[in-house]
Structure 1
């Protein structure tokens, strides 16, 4: 895709707007409405590990893509950034499946009974507050990263590089933060998976 007409651009921007609202809404519904077992006995216990791998690889692609464009290698930059987008998309699908099918994990639930007692909270200690801070900032940034990424990719693929450069000043740090904090959240919560 090189350049697009104003009529087509309006369609793409509307689609980006719809996706930017729909994706966070679907994720929020899955987080706040227990869905365990909707897919029968499908075992999804491996998905958090896969998600951490996808986030790690996404973060590495983002940093390498940034370095590629700084070294004036737009072809490698494009490959790495599209790879990061594909990996993030696979992550999102995997994340939705996991939260649709799997049990919710509570930070500090040492006996994996789904109840967080005062004794467990005390045993988790102050790291629990770090976990929730990182998780909260990760979630908030992940809401904003959806339209940023979609717009950055759209502007790049439509060859509107001036708008692409403007949006990636926000997209790159937010997307990188979301990818890295996704890994940190996983590392902190993984001891509590049943």
Structure 2
């Protein structure tokens, strides 16, 4: 049976959540499989990977503050910092898509165990980044609707995955940054 994220007031975030999930993950996939957009090639977006790492760092910090706030039962601060994390993540997604629609991919130049570690971190980051989109949106929707028990059940997965994705985004940047041209 399918559960619906809805309150008595009628707020149903499910269509928005799944539309955003498909749009975000679809655009990210297209950024890697389509050729770069010609009109964007005239601009220098070489600063965006560093900006992306900063935005991932801000997401990570916001999530840690949100986690501490909820442990202290400060729900207002928790909500505000989760929404701030969503804001940083949204800016990251715009920046990430702009970079990858305009700039050829950079290959990791390391070898041996360093390359194995990099590829493991990158692969887990990619898979979990796709998964975190609906998880984060469902968690936020349930929180906004004050569906506390459902919210608590899903955030047990959402928070550690979102933290992992934001942290490994920074690690991937630090590992590949020497190879940007």
User: Does TM-score exceed 0.5, indicating one fold?
Assistant: yes
Task: Indicate which of 137, 148, 167 corresponds to 2:124.
Answer: 137
Q: Which residue of 2 aligns with 1:147?
A: 134
Provide the residue aligned with 1:44 in structure 2: 45
Unaligned 5+ residue runs, structure 2? 1-5
Q: Structure 1 unaligned runs (5+)?
A: 109-122
In the TM superposition, what are the counterparts of 1:25-174 in structure 2 within 5 Å? 25-35=26-36, 37-108=38-109, 124-174=111-161
Conserved 8 A contact 2:142-2:151:
yes
Distance in 2 of aligned mates of 1:96 and 1:158: 30
Larger radius of gyration: 1
Deviation at 1:5, TM superposition (A): 4.1
Which stretches of structure 1, 4 residues or longer, exceed 6 Å deviation after superposition? none
Q: Identify the range of structure 1 (178-187 vs 76-85) with the bigger mean alpha-carbon deviation.
A: 76-85
How far is 1:50 from its partner? 0.3
User: By how many angstroms is 1:57 displaced?
Assistant: 1.0
Equivalences, count: 176
- Pairs within 5 Å for 1:17-32: 17-32=18-33
- Does the 8 Å contact 1:37/1:102 carry over to 2? no
Q: Secondary structure at the match of 1:45?
A: coil
TM-score (norm: length of structure 2) = 0.91
RMSD of the alignment, in Å?
Answer: 1.6
Question: Is residue 2:176 matched to residue 1:175?
Answer: no
- Shift, 1:7, TM fit: 5.6
Decide whether aligned partners of structure 1 residues 83 and 7 sit closer, same or farther in structure 2, where only a CA change above 3 A counts.
Answer: closer
* Alignment match of 1:186 (pick from 170, 173, 179): 173
Q: Distance in 1 between matches of 2:84 and 2:9?
A: 28
Alignment TM-score, normalising by the size of structure 1: 0.85
